[in-house]
Amino acid sequence: MIIELGHFALVLALAVAAVQMVLPAWGAHTRDARLMQAAEPAALTQLALLSLAFAALTYAYVTSDFSVENVWANSHSAKPLIYKISGVWGNHEGSMLLWVLILALFGAAVALFGGNLPPSLRANALAVQAAIALAFLLFIIFSSNPFVRIPLQPEGRGLNPILQDPALAFHPPFLYAGYVGLSMAFSFAIAALIEGRTDAAWARWVRPWTLAAWVCLTLGIAMGSWWAYYELGWGGWWFWDPVENASFMPWLAATALLHSALVMEKREALKVWTILLAILAFSLSLMGTFLVRSGILTSVHAFAVDPARGVFILAILVVLIGGALVLYAWRAPQLQQGGLFAPISREGALVLNNVLLTVACGTVFVGTLYPLALESVTGDKISVGPPYFNLTFGPLMLPLLLAMPLGPFLAWKRGDLLGALQRLLAAAGIALLALTVTLALTWRGPWLAPFGIALGVWVVAGALSEWVARVKLFSAPLADSFYRARGLPRAAYGTMLAHAGVGVAVIGIVATTAWQSEAVLSMKPGDSAHIAGYELAFRGVAPGRGPNYQDQIGLLTVTRAGAPVTELSPAKRTYDAPRQTTSEAGIHVAWRGDLYAVLGDELADGAFVVRLYFNPLVRLIWLGALVMALGGALSLSDRRLRIGAPRRARRRALAAPSPAE
C-alpha cells in the first residue's frame, strides 16, 4: 500500500511539474501576477510529493519489502540498517529519485526565500526548474521506475559490497546536491535570457546557491576519492577515470562561475560570459549523470546499465542543453555590457582564473570524450589515461596557482601589480625556503617535485598574506590587529581558507605522486618486509565474521627503528549476498604519510600476496578539500550574502518598466 502511495505521489509530481513549467512562464510572458504566483504552491507541492515518494521507497528498503523489484535487486534483510537506507540511492532508480528530490528541494527554496526577487524572474526560474524536473520524472517513470512490483521474494540479492561503506553511503547525496545545486544557476540564467536582462541582483542571488552547490560538490568528490583510496586497494586517490572526470568537470566550471559571478555582482561586468558559464556548469552536471548512468564509457567505476536509458538521457541532454544554448545565442547579444576594467585589476585576475579553469575543463572534456568520438568515427577503441591528463591539465594549473595569491591583492578596475608583488614578498620568501628545504631533503629526485611543493606553499602563504595585510598584523599594534581580524567579513575568511585549501591539497598531491613507495611481495607467516623506514612482520591470517560477511584478516606488526608503531590488519572480505570479495586495506595514518597494506590471494606454498604502499602526506589532499569546503561554507554564512538581494522598494522600481527588447 505504501509503495503504491509513493508511486502515485511520483506520478502526481510529474503532473505538478507540468503545471509549474507552463503556468508561471505564461504568466511572466503575459504579466499576469496570478499565473506567476502559481509557481510557489506548485514548487512546494512538488517537494511534498517527492518527499513522500522517497520516504515510501526508503520504507520499503528499511522493512526489506522484497515484493518491490528495486529492493529485491539491491537489498538484503541481513544488511546493517545504515546500508539499507543508503541502498535507496545505491542503485540507478533510487539515485534518480534522490536527484529529483534534491531538485524539488532547491525549487522549494526559491519559492520560499525568493520573495525579494523580481516576480517574473522568479516565475521563469521556477518554470525552468520544473522543466528539468519534468524531464527527469518522465525518465524515472518510463525507464527506471523504482516502484515496480514483482511476486514476493524470500530474500533480496543484496547491495554491491563495495558500496557498503560509510563514505560511499554519503557520497551520492553530496555529489547530487552539488550537481543539482548548479541547476539554480542554470534556471536563473535561462530566466535572465528570457527576460533579456541581468544585473548585480541576479548575481547576488545566484552566487550563494552556486557556492552551496560548490561546497557539496567539493565534499562529494573528496569523499569519493577517499573511498576509492581505501576501498579499491590500489593505494591511489585519483585515476582520471571518466566517471571521476564527470564529477570534476562541473566542479571546475562551478569554480569558474563563482569567480565570474563575483565580477558580475561587484562590477556588473562579464554578464554574457557568466550566463554562458552557468549554462555550461549545469550541462556538465547533466552530462556527469549521463556518463555514469548510460554505460557508454569504459570506467573502473562503471556499473551494469541498461542502454535504453542512455538514449533517454541523451534526449534530455539534447533538449535541455541544446535549447539553452540556442536561447543563449539568440538572446545574449541583447544583454547590456557592464563596467570597464584594465587587464591588470581584480577583474582581470578573475578573467585569467576563468580562462584557465574553463580551458583546463576543456582538456578534461576532450580526454574524457575523445575515445567515444574516435570509436564512432573510426571504430578504433582507445583509452586515455593519466599520462594525458598530467600532460595537459598539469601545465594549465601552473599559471593558475602562480597567479592565485596575486588576485586578492589587486584593486578592482585598475590594480598595481608591482605593489601586489611587494606585499607578497614574505610569501615568496617562505615558498623559496620550502623549495630549498625540500630540495635538500629529497636530493635523490624527482627534481620537479620540490617546485610543486613550493608552489603549494606559495598558495597557502599567499592566502595567509592577504589576511595578514588586511588585519595589519606586524604593522599595527596587536590589539588593533585583533580588532581588525574580528571586523573582517566572513567572506574574506572564506576566500582565504578556500585558497589555502587549494595550496594544502597541491602539497599533498605533489608529495604523494612524487614520493610514493610501493612493494608487492609474497609473505609467509614470520616473514618481514621493509618500506619507507618501516619494518612489517607478517604474523599470519585469521578468520573473522561480520554482520553479513566473512573476513580473512592478515596481521602485520609494524615497527620503526625497533620501536613498535602499530598493527595493520588488511582483510579479504567475502559477503554472503551477493557472494563477492572485497579487499579491506589496513592503513596506518601518520603526519608523514599513510602506511597502506592490502592482503592478496593465498599462494600454493602457504604464502600470501601482500601489497604495501607508503603514501607521503596523502591526507593533505582531503584535508585541503575539507578546508576549501569550509571556506565556502564560511563565506556562505556571511551576512552580506544573506541579505544581499535588493530591497522591496528597489524591486518595485525595477519591476515596473518592461525590459528593453
Partner 1 sequence: MTRKQRRAAFIGLGLGILSLAVFLVLFALRDTIVFFHTPKEVVERQIPAGKRFRLGGLVAEGSLKRGEGLTVAFAVTDTDKTIPVTYTGILPDLFREGQGVVAEGKLDPSGRFHADMVLAKHDETYMPPEVAKALKQQGVWHGDAKAKGGVPK
Decide whether 178 or 348 has the Cβ nearer to partner 1: 348
- Binding part of the chain for partner 1, among 105-113, 151-159, 322-330, 653-661 by CB under 8 A, reads 151-159
CB of 21 to partner 1, least distance (A): 33
Longest dimension (CA), the chain: 86
527 binds partner 1 (CB under 8 A): no
CB 256 within 8 A of CB 358: yes
CB of 297 to partner 1, least distance (A): 8
255 binds partner 1 (CB under 8 A): no
Burial label for 442, CB within 10 Å (0-12, 13-18, 19+), is middle
Cα–Cα dist 364/360, whole Å: 6
319 binds partner 1 (CB under 8 A): no
Q: Which residues contact 659 (CB under 8 A, 6 or more apart)?
A: 195, 196, 197
Decide whether 307 or 333 has the Cβ nearer to partner 1: 307
Decide whether 344 or 449 has the Cβ nearer to partner 1: 344
Q: Which of 575, 574, 571, 544 has its CA nearest to residue 555?
A: 571
149 DSSP assignment: B
- Identify residues 321-350 at the interface with partner 1 (CB under 8 A): 340-343, 348
CB 183 within 8 A of CB 101: no
- Binding part of the chain for partner 1, among 289-297, 450-458, 469-477, 502-510 by CB under 8 A, reads 289-297
Cα–Cα dist 139/145, whole Å: 8
Q: Which of 277, 222, 278, 172 has its CA nearest to residue 501?
A: 222
CA contacts within 13 A on the Cβ side of 104: 30
CB of 394 to partner 1, least distance (A): 9
What DSSP string describes 497-555? HHHHHHHHHHHHHHHHHHH-EEEEEEE-TT-EEEETTEEEEEEEEEEEE-SSEEEEEEE
Q: Which of 12, 14, 17, 7 has its CA nearest to residue 55?
A: 7
108 DSSP assignment: H
603 binds partner 1 (CB under 8 A): yes
Decide whether 355 or 485 has the Cβ nearer to partner 1: 355
CB 305 within 8 A of CB 295: yes
| Choice from 355, 397, 403, 411 touching partner 1 (CB under 8 A) | 355
What DSSP string describes 7-61? HHHHHHHHHHHHHHHHHHHHHHHHT-HHHHHTHHHHHHHHHHHHHHHHHHHHHHH
Q: Which of 598, 580, 601 has its CA nearest to residue 161?
A: 580
154 binds partner 1 (CB under 8 A): no
CA contacts within 13 A on the Cβ side of 236: 8
Cβ–Cβ contacts within 10 Å for residue 542, how many?
12
157 binds partner 1 (CB under 8 A): yes
| Choice from 196, 236, 339, 362 touching partner 1 (CB under 8 A) | 362
- Identify residues 385-414 at the interface with partner 1 (CB under 8 A): 385, 387-388, 391-392, 395-396, 399
| Choice from 156, 408, 600, 631 touching partner 1 (CB under 8 A) | 600
Cα–Cα dist 253/643, whole Å: 26
150 binds partner 1 (CB under 8 A): yes
Q: Which of 602, 613, 587 has its CA nearest to residue 523?
A: 602
303 binds partner 1 (CB under 8 A): yes
Decide whether 330 or 370 has the Cβ nearer to partner 1: 370
Q: Is 266 helix (H, G, I), strand (E, B) or coil?
A: helix
CB 261 within 8 A of CB 407: no
162 binds partner 1 (CB under 8 A): yes
601 binds partner 1 (CB under 8 A): yes
Decide whether 37 or 77 has the Cβ nearer to partner 1: 77
| Choice from 120, 368, 582, 635 touching partner 1 (CB under 8 A) | 582
CB of 376 to partner 1, least distance (A): 12
| Choice from 11, 48, 73, 537 touching partner 1 (CB under 8 A) | 73
| Choice from 48, 105, 167, 302 touching partner 1 (CB under 8 A) | 302
- Identify residues 459-488 at the interface with partner 1 (CB under 8 A): none
Decide whether 12 or 519 has the Cβ nearer to partner 1: 519
Q: Which of 362, 453, 359, 366 has its CA nearest to residue 401?
A: 453
CB of 599 to partner 1, least distance (A): 9
Interface size with partner 1, residues (CB under 8 A): 68
In the numeric block, which cell numbers belong to residue 198? Answer: 541581468
Decide whether 166 or 533 has the Cβ nearer to partner 1: 166
Decide whether 387 or 564 has the Cβ nearer to partner 1: 387
520 binds partner 1 (CB under 8 A): yes
51 binds partner 1 (CB under 8 A): no
CB of 370 to partner 1, least distance (A): 7
- Binding part of the chain for partner 1, among 173-181, 327-335, 444-452, 603-611 by CB under 8 A, reads 603-611
- Identify residues 207-236 at the interface with partner 1 (CB under 8 A): 232-234
517 binds partner 1 (CB under 8 A): no
522 binds partner 1 (CB under 8 A): yes
Residues that bind partner 1 (CB under 8 A): 69, 73, 150-151, 153, 157, 160, 162, 232-234, 295-298, 300-304, 306-307, 340-343, 348, 351-352, 355-356, 359-360, 362-363, 366-367, 370-371, 380-385, 387-388, 391-392, 395-396, 399, 520-522, 572, 578, 580-583, 598, 600-601, 603-604, 609, 611
